[in-house]
Amino acid sequence: MNHFSPSLTQWNQSEERPIACVVQPSLLDMPRTYTQTLDTPAYKGTVSIDTGLFINGQFVDAVKGDSVDVYNPATGKIITSVAAGSKEDVDIAVAAAEKAYKTSWGLKVPGAQRGRLLSKLADLIERDIDEFAALESLNTGRPFTASKAVDVTSTIATIRYYAGFADKIQGRTIETSEHKLAYTRHEPYGVVGQIVPWNFPLSMISWKIGPALATGNTIVLKPSEVTPLTAQKLATIVIEAGFPPGVLNIVNGYGPTVGQAIAEHPLIEKVAFTGSTATGRRIQEASAKSNLKAISLELGGKSPNIIFEDADLEQAVKWAARGIFPNAGQMCSASSRILVQEGIYDAFVEHFIAAAKSFEGAVGDPFELETQHGPQGSQTQLDRVLGYLDVAKKEGGSILTGGERLGDKGYFVQPTIIAGTNDMKAVREEIFGPVASLIKFKTEEEAIEIANDSVYGLAAAVFTENNARAIRVAHALEAGSLFVNNYNWLDTGMPFGGYKQSGIGRDLGEYALDMYTHVKAVHVNLGLRL
């Protein structure tokens, strides 16, 4: 990724993973409900959402009446428009969240009750799993089968996981002396801001709201303006689940308006963000210049996958393909740098090209059962990926397969493999597309040096049948998540986050709870007199 000026006036949540939406002048003439009936091989039914902002338990128009068009990336056509908020809307949402925190949530509500509501929310999403998956596929172009089996299913699991923790937010009693009772309390921040990306909209929301609500915080959430549909559906379910008004508020809009307002708001005590490293820098700066908010950032990556000569070649190829080509490569932890030991390099290339072509052969409508390869998230993202491919060719990279746009409808790119070196721009910077760079290496030491030669440190992998080598290399790699003989096999109970410029803090697992609580130390005098 490039480094940009930290001016918040130019801030776009997806600046390095761009978008193509248009702000409309007025919401007043726009229908407040979007409904569409689908009759496809994968889904037959009706989807429906309210297109307003969700503040204080109800859908409302944006103060300024603006809206944003939402596109189907598989066709390039507009799906609908949703309300686009502003600083004024954020102010209203924060006020609602603060009131809820002080009166009907936070420490006013036992953890067991918060857990019951989160469990109810998960049950309702499960009830409507097909509709959620259909909305996700319409908005992202991701195959319906993957949206349902992976994204929505993992969302349900994540919310249930944190429902179980809601009554287990505990401090410690610490031995000091017989004259003193010393203990700690883990208390919520209060109002937190959360900003999520467009690549996995619903599951990323669950990663944020699960631990925040379990620990007793109230939320002002900004979905990506590119993919707001499942967030709008979730708002309806929040009402049905029985959450008090103001506990979860959803304000759609752009980074320079809604995102900036969240990052700078003096009553928001913590911000959690997933997206580009450039925007993460701006959020950190805004925190420093406003009220020194606590922040957690899950940012970009250029993750290495090291494949040694003694690896199971067939399995290494399959996992490597799974690490880069699903979701059109739009994964922050994608294994976009694949390091292959020279003794098996040619054989790996042959089989990996075949794997890439199998994805290309299954490109198409996300509602066709055979589809495996979907589009980039927007026209701008398509242009970005193709731009990097042009740069790779100019830098002398060899395009082993792919490298071109697929068709002229929608935002599809061929699964691409580049043979290159670690000093190439396309190898060092996050492309956020179905582009794998292959690098040949000789020794273990060389592989570790190449892998760690990056400003990022989100994920990494090692493939070998030698257990001692696997553990040795895993410990030497500078990344937050290490995969041994697999890739991107995540688990709700395991933390996820980065080293270096890939972020601060952790999502998922019990570790995420620490991102949403203060630790208060209480010292009680039991009899010491002066």
Q: Which residues are catalytic?
A: 298, 332
Query: Measured in whole angstroms, how far is the alpha carbon of residue 207 from the centre of its chain?
Result: 8
The residues, any chain, with a CB within 8 Å of residue 443's CB and separated by 6 or more, are none
Backbone phi and psi for residue 401, each to the nearest 5 degrees, phi listed first: -160, 150
Q: Among the residues of 215-276, which ranges form H helices?
A: 229-241, 260-264
E strand or H helix at 71:
strand 67-72
Place of tokens 């082993």: 400
Query: Measured in whole angstroms, how far is the alpha carbon of residue 231 from the centre of its chain?
Result: 13
β-strands 459-463, 304-307 pairing: parallel
Q: Among the residues of 337-434, which ranges form H helices?
A: 345-360, 379-394, 425-428
DSSP state of 152: I
Q: Are 51 and 37 in contact (CB under 8 A)?
A: no
Residue type, 303: S
CA R_g for the chain: 23
Q: Are 426 and 418 in contact (CB under 8 A)?
A: yes
E strands, 366-454, in order: 398-401, 416-419, 435-441
- How far apart CA 316 and CA 222 sit, in angstroms, is 38
Q: Are 272 and 195 in contact (CB under 8 A)?
A: yes
Nearest to 202 by CA among 233, 175, 172: 233
The residues, any chain, with a CB within 8 Å of residue 431's CB and separated by 6 or more, are 329, 336, 384, 385, 388
E strand or H helix at 70:
strand 67-72
Q: Are 52 and 66 in contact (CB under 8 A)?
A: no
DSSP state of 495: -
Nearest to 132 by CA among 100, 113, 154, 117: 154
Q: Are 408 and 366 in contact (CB under 8 A)?
A: no
Nearest to 80 by CA among 39, 54, 49: 49
**Angle in degrees, CA 293, 297, 299, rounded to 5:** 150
Nearest to 401 by CA among 362, 361, 357, 345: 357
